[in-house]
Amino acid sequence: MFENDYIMRMILQLTRAIRQSLFREYPSPETEIRDIEGKVAEALDLDPRLMFKLEPESLVSVLQLGNVDPVLAIYAVRSIYYESDLLEARGELEVAELRRRQADAIANAYDIEVTLADASPEAMEEFLREQEELEDNESGSENSLENQ
């Protein structure tokens, strides 16, 4: 139960950061990128200064040692791909490429069928909308069970 609560809290933090980015609620692009990086690192229980400097294979090894929840890995992959697009738009091509390779490596290691195209702003909006619907359905089911 506690672990599920933790995972849900991490997922909510990631989706909140992406949602804020999609709706341009950050004061600057630097803040936007650093917040997304911070939320991803926190969700994966890593120091962001270390996590985003690791080569993709090393990052996957660290994640596998830490027993990262596969559902959380899906959100992390999408978020890292999304961040890579933000970095590319800012002209930080080398860092953007590293993020893509990191996301690719995590996706491959956890058999996640998410690609860079799944992290476009439009795809992320759709994904977040679907997640909200799932959460609404789950909370509706829980409420009906409690009322029985």
Q: Which pTM value belongs to this model?
A: 0.82
What ranges do the domains of the chain cover? Answer: 2-146
Residues 6+ apart with CB under 8 A from 126: none
Reply yes or no on whether the pLDDT at 145 is more than 50: no
- Dig out the tokens for 103 from the structure: 């996301």
Strand, helix or coil for residue 103: helix
pLDDT single digits (tens) 111-136: 999 999 998 889 998 988 888 887 77
The arithmetic mean of pLDDT across residues 17-21, rounded, is 84
Reply yes or no on whether the pLDDT at 88 is more than 50: yes
> Helix/strand/coil (H, E, C) string of 18-52?
HHHHHCCCCCCHHHHHHHHHHHHHHHCCCCHHHHC
Least-confidence region, from 3-17, 56-70, 88-102: 3-17
Residues 6+ apart with CB under 8 A from 116: 81, 84, 85, 100, 103
Work out the mean pLDDT of the chain and round it to a whole number. 86
C-alpha dihedral over 18, 32, 69, 3, to 10 degrees? Answer: -90
Instruction: Single out the residue of 57, 77, 79, 58 nearest to residue 69, CA to CA.
Output: 77
CA 30 from chain centre, in angstroms, equals: 18
Q: What is the pLDDT of residue 1?
A: 57
Task: Name the percent of the chain lying above pLDDT 90.
Answer: 47
pLDDT single digits (tens) 33-49: 999 999 999 989 899 88
Q: What is the pLDDT of residue 13?
A: 83
Task: Name the percent of the chain lying above pLDDT 70.
Answer: 91
